[in-house]
Chain A
Amino acid sequence: MRRLASIPPFRRLALAAIVLTALPVIGLAVTGCGHPRTRAANGAAQKALYTCPMHPSYVSDKPGQCPICGMDLVPARAASAAAAAAAGPGAPKQGPRRVLYYRSPMDPSVISPVPMKDPMGMDYVPVYSDEAPAAAGVEGNAAVELGPDEARLTGVRTAVAREGSLARTIRTVGNVVPDELLVRQVQTRFAGWVDASSLVSSGVPVRRGQVLARIYSPDLVATQEEFLRARDGAARFASSTLPEVRRGGADLLAAARERLFALGLPPDFVSRLERDGRVQQLVPVEAPISGFLTARNVEPGARVEPGTVLFTVTDLSRIWIEGRVYESDVSRVREGQGASLTLPYEPGMVLRGRIRTVFPALDSTTRSLIVRFEFANRGLALKPGMFANVELAFPRARGVLVPESAVLETGPREIVFVRAGAGRFEPRVVVVGARSEGQAELLSGVSAGDTVAVAANFLLDSESRLRAAAARAAESARGAPK
């Protein structure tokens, strides 16, 4: 009963509520339009952008949370610069001319963010925004502007690109071998037996003319005797008044001497024989050159025949190195080219030499070309059989050089950041030629005199890509059908 009685006033209440539903519309309109924060945000020409600190590639035009990780978005930095860069060099510049930086009147690469005088007292020249060198548009990368503190923290350092020549090197490993022209074999031209007493052992250094062995050769004894007879005869005939006889004696002697020489006896042996007149049972074999006795093929008492190789003497004052050059480098090597040599086990020692021979054909198994280098062997540091590292340097045509660290390879392309005004770095796509000794040769993109960033390039690139992404987002926000 009471419940029934209660309904009408309740219905009246409900009615009142329905009437009042009109109010939210008004309320919404009032608060919606009048919200100071919203209006400020929309009214500004530059829309603030927000990005996730963990996923910088996500950019939104509203604050909120990152869709990927749920972190609060943070305001994206310097979207204005990005937008400006995105507009590209061709876009008409609006608004008043803005001084970008001041540059030295003498050297355009010396610039300052504030007006100043150079050492000669001349004023720096202002450079306006529309005068600044136009940036080469690089897709996905925008110019980066850094404050002095930011640049310091980021660790940006710069270097000036300069004209220069770059040496390209081929590094190869070589085998030390004796110079073929400095190897001598020692043979006898007569048969005989090697005397046991005076044989020199192998591996020792020998001087030129040093006796290496003595040989008993019955033939040679006979020949000596013949010589002596000829000498005596010549001496006898020398007193003859008959010129024919005199000459005949002398000729005989000369012929006998010649025979001794032809048998390879050393001249002082012959002259001593001639002087003393005593037949030597043992004939010495002397070293033809100074060097090392690298081989001894006879044992004491062995019989030697003419043509037997008794010894090998090798001169190591100059050696050869046989290195391998692979097919791709073959066209670059020339005879007479300079080369430098280092030894892995003797750091600090560098020898200079040159290419002596470039072999005419490739080794079929290793597919490499043998190149023969010639080096003076000072102090006999290089021993045949050793490995040595040889570097061949090729001077190249002059080009624009920057430190290698200035070039950032991002995969499909190579980028260099060029300073364009105080703290402003623009990305340029470059083509890199040779690289060597920490320098890179740029075939295009940068000209000599440009200041390039050589440290913290990765961070510059990141920043640049972030700004480009922000600019894209800003553009799509402008163009979005909303």
Chain B
Amino acid sequence: MIRAIIAFSARNRVLVLLGVAALCVFAVYTLHRIRLDALPDLSDTQVIVYSRWDRSPDIVEDQVTYPIVSALLGTPRVKAIRGYSDFGYSFVYVIFQDGTDPYWARSRVQEYLSKIVARLPEGVRTELGPDATAVGWVFQYALVDHSGTHSLDELRSYQDWTLRYALQSVPGVAEVASIGGYVRQVQVMVDPDRLAAYGLPITAVVDAVRGSNQETGARLIEWSGPERMVRVRGYSRTPEEFADAVVRAGPGGVPVRVRDVGRVEWGPELRRGIADLDGAGDHVGGIVVMRNGENALNVIRAVQERLRELRPSLPRGVDVVTTYDRADLITRAIDTLKHELTIEMIIVSLVILLFLWHVPSAIVPILTIPVAVLLAFIPLYYFGVTVNIMSLAGVAISIGVLVDGAIVEVENAYNKLHLWQAGGREGDFHAVRLEALQEVGPSVFFSLLVVAVSFLPIFALVDQEGRLFKPLAYSKNLAMALAALLAITLDPAMRMLFARMEPFRFRPRILATIATQALVGTYHSEERHPISRAIFRVYDPVCRWVLRRPKTVVLAAAAIVVLSLPAYFALGQEFMPPLNEGTILYMPTTLPGISVADAQALLETQDRVLRSFPEVERVFGKAGRAETSTDPAPLSMMETTVMLRPPSEWRAKPRWYSSWMPGFLKPLVRPLWPDRISWEELTAAMDRALRIAGVTNAWTMPIRARIDMLTTGVRTPVGIKILGSDLGTIERIGLQIEGLIHEVPGTRSVFAERVAGGYFVDIEPRRDLMARYGLTVSGLQDVLSAAVGGENVTTTVEGRERSPVNVRYPRELRDDPDRLARVLVDTPSGAQVPLAEVADLRLVDGPSMIRDENGFMAGYVYVDMAGRDVGRYVADAKKLVHDRLRLPPGYVLQWSGQYENMIRVGQRLQVVVPITLALIFVLLLANTRSAFKAMIVMLAVPFSAVGAIWLFHFLHYNVSIAAWVGMIALLGLDAETGVFMLLFLDLSYDEFRKKGLLRTIRDLDEAIVHGAVRRARPKMMTVSAAFMGLLPIMWSTSAGADVMKRIAAPMIGGLVTSFLLELLVYPAIYKLWKSRGVTKGLPA
């Protein structure tokens, strides 16, 4: 069938060319519409239920998180529900099974949530988080006031009520979160003494304030013609208006107004997030959160466009400064990849030209590359795969392989035509050419198919790994599949275009020669070709040497494979290869409980130090939380985005060539000996400069950090969840387990979470004392939450803007425990008593954050293990814990962790890998028609692993799934080159046998040498095309190159060794295999 397709394409070449051209045009169109981002979205399908209530973590847990989690428990397709309660916030993450549609999931959550929302305490604001994650933080900005006339609260108001909505309406933006500055608030500060003197409870003031801020209507009246709408005005807009609200009419008609019992003024709302720009103090900033699965680049461009439109309407002297912009990274990464693709294409083209020395033949593979790459975008677009570093890397690593089919076809045609020319031009050369194409066509198609099939295990990956690498697998496989298709359609068609065999003869002679070279070309025999000659000169004696001692060679090869195993185990492990994003995210952390003022001072100090580095362009620090459910960071975590100048402007580092080498030569040596300080050196210097007591520094990059922080549960191989109802007991059990697990062989580390870390002031009502005054607990609480907590009692309506209004005691009356003890509580008997008379005040510590797992409070014990089978390890550990630990009633242990995933992946791979291998085997079998040959071909796999391992060792790379992806890509490539090697050995063997030249072992040697050496060119071509195609990746230093290097490195290392071993070991094995037949004189 493949032969038929080839024949059809060869005959209807115009049709095929037009069809391909049309598809290319369509591909360009899809390319403009496809979604672009830096990295694939790795988050689970999750819905965040986000509640705000200014209460301590345990209260939030009891009254908000727990009811919500329990209400959501029955939601369909839910994998896990995790709740986190922090001060003032409750996050419930509902994680759905892979592949659940996010909007379906959201409506389910909404449905189940509706049961409970009405029953939550008053004042709790519950909402669904946006359809986005923190990974969608694509653009951040800060408002800078150059005029010095705008206060922070004005800027924040502008951000909250104008800028935010303007940007949020940009398509693709899920949310714009504000951070920094402070929200303006009308603060009613009540003097408790005056309340006492007037005999008023604070709740009376609260009611008065609330009641003075309403606006309503009295429907319509019809009067003298038109109907008139009746309005009852009553909004209080300014502190003065609130101050005039009456609390009570005193005796004699003298009113007691709010201003008589307190002060009303503008003030800042409680702050849970701070922003800082360049260490210059508090700034107002915004974070643009992109909706899941949008085109990041387009969203950012649209946001920037909207900002440009808004610029004239900004308050005078205020500027919007970009503090983070992912578009930069995306364009740079795509530029890098474009650059690499171009270089690869040029190199591959040069390789082909060099080897064939025949322009018409070389043009075919050269054209195949861009066409295959371009066409791959059509299915990518329809599969909904985003274009990102991973998917482009998939294309980049397949370039060298893409052309293999074309190379082999062209080479064969070239060879056949040369033979036809040399053989006296018998018959129609079109037929010869077609036959040549058809001869290798199926092999080529199958080998490309093998490459594609070998990628199957990647599709078996699930969760984050799956999401990270599937785009790569998709793009690579689609490109390969298209290349395979093109190899049997476009390539024959194109090859047949260059129909002329006769050199041009017209004047001027030079033009004729050029035309001949370009369109007809001259055919050289392999022996006469300079490169082939060089190969022969080296390879011929080596091959003969190998054939003299085949067993030694085979044993040595096996030894090398075996020796490489320990090297493999010495390699480090990592989940994701580093992607240099070009922006530093500095994440210092202190212990929980830091105050806003301390956090702000710390943030400013850090930013000032960072800003003093000459490499730094801008520093934007954030402590605490932005106003978004995608940001769960407490105040103790700071995130400072450090925008850097281009690396070419970094501080110079003298190198051996710096002083004398002319400038134009430096770029050549720079990749090897960079003359600027490196990323690592820069962050190390920053780390040294930022040693602050109590602060742990982390240096990462924005996207990387956001991916790391996606709530994904336990990240160690084994995790033990202790579920129960009391955190103290859970912690105690955790510590016991920690001790026990240490004894299990294979344990690397155990860590039981500690819950404390929050500082509390407990006010415990003393009911006996309260009873004397007729005071109830709720009466006490009402007073305290108003007087001390300062609840927001109403909201002003000032045009578009809203500000909360709060009533509380002045700060100096409630800011330490002593003063708190004197807070006056009004009692039903009319007396006002200090708090200390009716309650005990205690300073205690407690949980700063509470975790809720499927409705139980949860504590985790993290276990890392190594050197054993995970399944057996868990069984041992379970038995030990079961034997030695007595759990109190109501407490449950759950064993989970990555091991579940590992086991699941393991189980899948146990099925998928053999199937893949079997498929490859079957394909090879179908191609070679010999089980033994197929096996020999698959021997290339361990050989290639050797090179990959040692190159990793040499480059100090860690083993990640990226490396495995590279290995798997290599597997297909090996099989392919192996097939070709064996193909030519077989062809040669059969030829010798046909000619009856196989009588002795020496004859066999000759046949093998002939097959191996004389036909080295196509093998060299395919391998060097693949090899040289990957090399530029290793030289690249720009954005996105790191990830590709991790994938390319095993391919490069593996290609070298597998090719060397193929060249050296295959002849040896082939000889061992065939020598029996020869000695028996049975060349069957």
Q: Which residues of B contact A61 (CB under 8 A)?
A: 749
Is the pair A16, B845 in contact by a Cβ cutoff of 8 Å? no
Q: Which residues of A contact B1069 (CB under 8 A)?
A: 13
Given contacts A1-B1084, A458-B594, A481-B742, contact A9 B1073 (CB under 8 A): yes
Q: A60-B749, A411-B845 are in contact. List 8 more A-B contacts (CB 8 A).
A: A16-B558, A30-B566, A35-B570, A53-B696, A67-B749, A67-B864, A387-B194, A411-B843
B1033 smallest CB distance to A (angstroms): 24
Bound-complex Cα distance A67 to B689 (A): 28
Is the pair B562, A28 in contact by a Cβ cutoff of 8 Å? no
Is the pair B565, A24 in contact by a Cβ cutoff of 8 Å? yes
Bound-complex Cα distance A411 to B772 (A): 30
- B 1042-1080 contacts with A by CB, 8 A: 1069, 1072-1073, 1076-1077
B721 smallest CB distance to A (angstroms): 13
A477 smallest CB distance to B (angstroms): 9
Binary contact readout B754-768 vs A (1 if CB under 8 angstroms, 0 otherwise): 100001100000000
Residue of A nearest to B745 (CB): A482
B657 at the interface (CB under 8 A from A): no
B590 at the interface (CB under 8 A from A): yes
B595 at the interface (CB under 8 A from A): yes
Binary contact readout B580-613 vs A (1 if CB under 8 angstroms, 0 otherwise): 0000000111110111001001100110010000
A45 smallest CB distance to B (angstroms): 21
Binary contact readout A61-90 vs B (1 if CB under 8 angstroms, 0 otherwise): 110111111111010010000000000000
B691 at the interface (CB under 8 A from A): yes
B782 at the interface (CB under 8 A from A): no
Given contacts A70-B575, A458-B598, contact A65 B692 (CB under 8 A): no
Is the pair A154, B693 in contact by a Cβ cutoff of 8 Å? yes
Is the pair B593, A53 in contact by a Cβ cutoff of 8 Å? no
Residue of A nearest to B591 (CB): A462
Is the pair B831, A24 in contact by a Cβ cutoff of 8 Å? no
Stretch among B77-85, B204-212, B708-716, B908-916 lining the A interface: B708-716
Is the pair A328, B693 in contact by a Cβ cutoff of 8 Å? no
Can you list 23 A-B pairs, Cβ within 8 angstroms, ordered by A? A2-B1077, A3-B930, A3-B932, A9-B1076, A23-B559, A23-B562, A27-B566, A60-B749, A66-B715, A67-B863, A68-B860, A77-B691, A146-B693, A153-B691, A155-B602, A173-B196, A326-B837, A344-B191, A456-B693, A460-B693, A462-B590, A462-B695, A463-B693
A224 at the interface (CB under 8 A from B): no
In-complex Cβ contact of A53 among B565, B587, B605, B832 (8 A) = B587
Q: Which residues of B contact A70 (CB under 8 A)?
A: 575, 708, 712, 715
- B 908-951 contacts with A by CB, 8 A: 930-932, 935
Is the pair A365, B830 in contact by a Cβ cutoff of 8 Å? yes
B698 at the interface (CB under 8 A from A): yes
B582 smallest CB distance to A (angstroms): 19
B816 at the interface (CB under 8 A from A): yes
B624 smallest CB distance to A (angstroms): 15
A119 at the interface (CB under 8 A from B): no
Bound-complex Cα distance A274 to B369 (A): 139
Q: Which residues of B contact A244 (CB under 8 A)?
A: none
Bound-complex Cα distance A416 to B931 (A): 79
Given contacts A70-B715, A154-B694, A461-B694, contact A367 B708 (CB under 8 A): no
A466 at the interface (CB under 8 A from B): yes
Q: Which residues of B contact A389 (CB under 8 A)?
A: 193
Is the pair B605, A153 in contact by a Cβ cutoff of 8 Å? yes
B862 at the interface (CB under 8 A from A): yes
**Chain A contact residues (Cβ within 8 angstroms of B): what range?**
35 or more
Q: Which residues of A contact B652 (CB under 8 A)?
A: none
Is the pair B692, A154 in contact by a Cβ cutoff of 8 Å? yes
Bound-complex Cα distance A387 to B719 (A): 64
A195 smallest CB distance to B (angstroms): 31
Binary contact readout A10-35 vs B (1 if CB under 8 angstroms, 0 otherwise): 10110011001101100110111001
Is the pair B864, A28 in contact by a Cβ cutoff of 8 Å? no
A123 at the interface (CB under 8 A from B): no
Is the pair A366, B833 in contact by a Cβ cutoff of 8 Å? yes
Is the pair A57, B754 in contact by a Cβ cutoff of 8 Å? yes
- B 958-1008 contacts with A by CB, 8 A: none
Bound-complex Cα distance A465 to B754 (A): 13
B554 at the interface (CB under 8 A from A): yes
In-complex Cβ contact of B693 among A21, A52, A53, A144 (8 A) = A144
B780 smallest CB distance to A (angstroms): 15
Is the pair A458, B932 in contact by a Cβ cutoff of 8 Å? no
Is the pair B563, A23 in contact by a Cβ cutoff of 8 Å? yes
A399 at the interface (CB under 8 A from B): no
Is the pair B197, A175 in contact by a Cβ cutoff of 8 Å? yes
A339 smallest CB distance to B (angstroms): 15
Q: Which 6 A-B pairs have the closest CB atoms?
A: A53-B698, A462-B694, A67-B862, A459-B694, A173-B193, A411-B845
B743 at the interface (CB under 8 A from A): yes
Bound-complex Cα distance A58 to B346 (A): 51
Binary contact readout B478-509 vs A (1 if CB under 8 angstroms, 0 otherwise): 00000000000000000000000000000000
Q: Which residues of A contact B834 (CB under 8 A)?
A: 326
Bound-complex Cα distance A153 to B610 (A): 12
